[in-house]
Structure 1
């Protein structure tokens, strides 16, 4: 663990700067691709897309963004048991770069038939999903290992780290979104792949600032660099990931539907059983179990937050394209650029929230973690109330489509409120997991936490379909934005009520 006296990066350990920039480039890669995904899938064949129906594109988006957060469970377990965090980060980074380049290749192949384009596209998504599973939980775990559990800088450190995430998320729609939407889809995906390679290279160059944090298990404490055999195993893992996904894509369609269903069930239940086994064998005593239950309970509430927040890539993206006035003179703002608004506000407000928590802590007024989660849900609900009003304003009087393109300031204001909610919940949640997890299960529990993001992302992709089914059942309009606003307000109220009990279960951890 880094020394508490090491305050070379804005009062934080110097290793935070290395992890900050690595995560920034990885998020540049991910959010650049995410900003393009639904628009690419729904674009016509003539414009280089797949000409999918909107709800079908939402489902693919939800499956992808959901699985992106399931595979960190695998990456977390492998890091804890076998590889260590550093090797898993290199494996994930290199794999994700390959996945982005395969997406670019599928976009370049417009003249080819769909039998060629689709396998390339799905292989790219699959490799991105597995690569992210290796990368995502372990870099967050390494941030936590820079601090002691009750170091008051820890929440602030995660908030600064979160700024790195959102600096990448801000830049990527502007660069990858513009290149993909305005020039050609493949250039957007290529820029995302290049960003991933930059992040992996930076992590390698700056690894000396991390001491021995993240080294493979059972390695001598004085070692702080990977050996040649470690690099050979990294390359083998990357090749296995690529070969497995390509083989899976090519072979899956030849398997009978009934067998496909059983394979999914066996893998799902087997993975869940192993996860439960890992938690049971790695948790000891009433204190550790009490803290683990807090993580699991808040993970459930986390699903509801992200089922709303992740409308940014689906319904908000379509609203920006179809319902928002994007013309400035003769120039049209790319719809993907609105994906940068949240990140702008994160970069602007994250330092203020970081300072706020420290000042409140000194005055003994710092809200406990569950109460911060409650505030996150309340801000989310307020944002959706504004969004519902904007949608009504745009569509009133015409059931077939908008009669009025509304000001982009509606979306900007919604993103600001959602940013406040995110800052109350997401970096705090990452910090909480590293504080409350048993020492041998930090990466595994981080994987569980990412799993709640997975469920939230998939539910987000289905909220529009859920609102349509409710509408059919009730015989009256059920607007998706009002549905999420009401759901979020109810969850926020429940968290306020449960907050004292959950704080007690944290057993002295703030």
Structure 2
């Protein structure tokens, strides 16, 4: 496998994008448009679900809307298992990306047509499957552009991450404004166009810039295995469809029950994955040690994403109903606050990339970076306690509190997220390369599955306790990881 990786590296132009491999621009661009489409849709989806039908929404209550959003986000990241498996066993990463992008585009197009709650679920299902197929494979190919000892690697992932957040920055400003001022469905149409542009760019540039990266299948199915797997998948899909039809039509499967099922899966699926990888005969002794080291990082990342992902649910709800939005002639759209986090990342990611490159071997270890990241996320929630305990601020808080809180969680994100992706590609067992990237995305899936239950506790009377408890728990987890960082780093067996 090492020789194969070296041969692939030799086919990739290693200069051409700010000192990084030329293919980074191709991947940066499709990630930009995919994130534009996804976060454009997310900027208005919560409001579309709970706004009254007279305002063009579906009229569901706020708690249900926030829970649906969390489950939606969880399933998007949970479905990365499918993308990782397809790449590792059948298609390779490059081809899998195309199929994922097409499904995402169709999902956004489905949302662009006025419909009912069932229509919403159909479009969400398409985006969930498409995003899951596409996301892990983009990150996996970024990893293929660099050797494991290349000190440009973390910087490269930070640049790639900046591309994602540039798309996420523009999306709420464009899609959010159109969706809230004119029509939700017109906003969803713009999101669909973004994904289509990204696919066209990827198809035109990938052949020359990516070389053979993503074309190999690390652990291909044999012809006999393919036949068995396809048969089982077909039967499994049919059983699931029948179960859904029966339980939905009989009223057995309600939204609340479904959220509980997904929340449980958010814990069980990662556990099964770690057991399978650790016990596999294809996993070496060093790789098993790295899996053990990865588990506390995984748990810490779940805690971080529990806070970060509430930016599109709890923070959006606070922005929409408890924040001062009018300043003289200027009216701020509540969806615009979702651009704050990516704005910070676009500005700060190059700074972090430059710092990690400058420090080289002297930079903090991965566990230390993770601990700092989750502590900063906890601080961001404690910041949100302040405006709600100040007299006279409860009904219309100053938007600067949201802006300051989002700065803290964004700093934490830059310590943890791009570093986590990079660490995952380095710690992954060779036979589970793409699938291990899916495991990284399961940190977000598990977090949002947990959030589907947490957000039910948030309301006008509980917000101070809510922010305080979750913030303190996050800080405690960060401190524990910091104390264990040297031991964890030793278990990584030479991987920084």
TM-score category, normalised to shorter length: 0.7 to 0.9
Q: Which residue of structure 1 aligns with residue 279 of structure 2?
A: 280
Q: Which residue of structure 2 aligns with residue 291 of structure 1?
A: 290
Kindly indicate whether residue 215 of structure 2 is the aligned counterpart of residue 215 of structure 1. yes
1:140-183 superposed Cα distances (whole Å, 9 cap, x missing partner):
00000000011100000000000011001001101111111111
In structure 2, distance between residues paired with 1:318 and 1:50: 16
- After superposition, the Cα gap between the structure-2 partners of 1:298 and 1:205, relative to the gap in structure 1 and judged at 3 Å, is same
**Structure 2 residue runs without a partner (length 5+):** 1-7, 220-236
Q: Which residue of structure 2 aligns with residue 508 of structure 1?
A: 494
Kindly indicate whether residue 469 of structure 2 is the aligned counterpart of residue 483 of structure 1. yes
Contact 1:123 1:249 in 2 (8 A): no
Q: Which of 363, 381, 385 lines up with 2:382 in the alignment?
A: 385
1:277-331 superposed Cα distances (whole Å, 9 cap, x missing partner):
3553264332110112222331111110011111101111011112222223233
Contact 1:436 1:506 in 2 (8 A): yes
- After superposition, the Cα gap between the structure-2 partners of 1:455 and 1:218, relative to the gap in structure 1 and judged at 3 Å, is closer
Contact 2:270 2:439 in 1 (8 A): no
In structure 1, distance between residues paired with 2:270 and 2:357: 39
Contact 1:29 1:196 in 2 (8 A): yes
- After superposition, the Cα gap between the structure-2 partners of 1:270 and 1:29, relative to the gap in structure 1 and judged at 3 Å, is closer
In structure 1, distance between residues paired with 2:277 and 2:474: 32
Q: Which residue of structure 2 aligns with residue 124 of structure 1?
A: 123
In structure 1, distance between residues paired with 2:312 and 2:289: 36
- After superposition, the Cα gap between the structure-2 partners of 1:87 and 1:247, relative to the gap in structure 1 and judged at 3 Å, is farther
Contact 2:384 2:405 in 1 (8 A): yes
TM-score when scaled to structure 2?
0.87
1:322-362 superposed Cα distances (whole Å, 9 cap, x missing partner):
2222223233111001100111110100011011112222x
In structure 2, distance between residues paired with 1:309 and 1:188: 24
In structure 1, distance between residues paired with 2:334 and 2:103: 29
Q: Figure out how many residues of one structure are paired with residues of the other and give that number.
A: 468
- After superposition, the Cα gap between the structure-2 partners of 1:439 and 1:270, relative to the gap in structure 1 and judged at 3 Å, is closer
In structure 1, distance between residues paired with 2:45 and 2:311: 12
Q: Which residue of structure 1 aligns with residue 9 of structure 2?
A: 2
Q: Which residue of structure 2 aligns with residue 44 of structure 1?
A: 52
In structure 2, distance between residues paired with 1:218 and 1:465: 42
- How far off its partner does 1:47 sit? 0.7
In structure 2, distance between residues paired with 1:23 and 1:161: 8
Larger deviation: 118-127 or 246-255? 246-255
Q: Which of 29, 34, 42 lines up with 2:42 in the alignment?
A: 34
In structure 2, distance between residues paired with 1:352 and 1:275: 34
Contact 2:73 2:445 in 1 (8 A): yes
Q: Which of 427, 436, 441 lines up with 2:432 in the alignment?
A: 441
In structure 1, distance between residues paired with 2:363 and 2:195: 37
In structure 1, distance between residues paired with 2:88 and 2:407: 37
Q: What does residue range 105-184 of structure 1 map to in structure 2 within 5 Å?
A: 105=113, 108-109=114-115, 117-184=116-183
In structure 1, distance between residues paired with 2:40 and 2:388: 26
Contact 1:283 1:289 in 2 (8 A): no
Q: Which residue of structure 1 aligns with residue 252 of structure 2?
A: 257
Q: Which residue of structure 2 aligns with residue 112 of structure 1?
A: none
**Structure 1 residue runs without a partner (length 5+):** 110-116, 220-241, 472-476
- After superposition, the Cα gap between the structure-2 partners of 1:341 and 1:5, relative to the gap in structure 1 and judged at 3 Å, is same
Contact 1:87 1:216 in 2 (8 A): no
Q: Which residue of structure 1 aligns with residue 421 of structure 2?
A: 430
- How far off its partner does 1:244 sit? 11
Q: What does residue range 205-354 of structure 1 map to in structure 2 within 5 Å?
A: 205-208=204-207, 209-217=209-217, 253-254=248-249, 257=252, 276-277=275-276, 280-281=279-280, 283-354=282-353
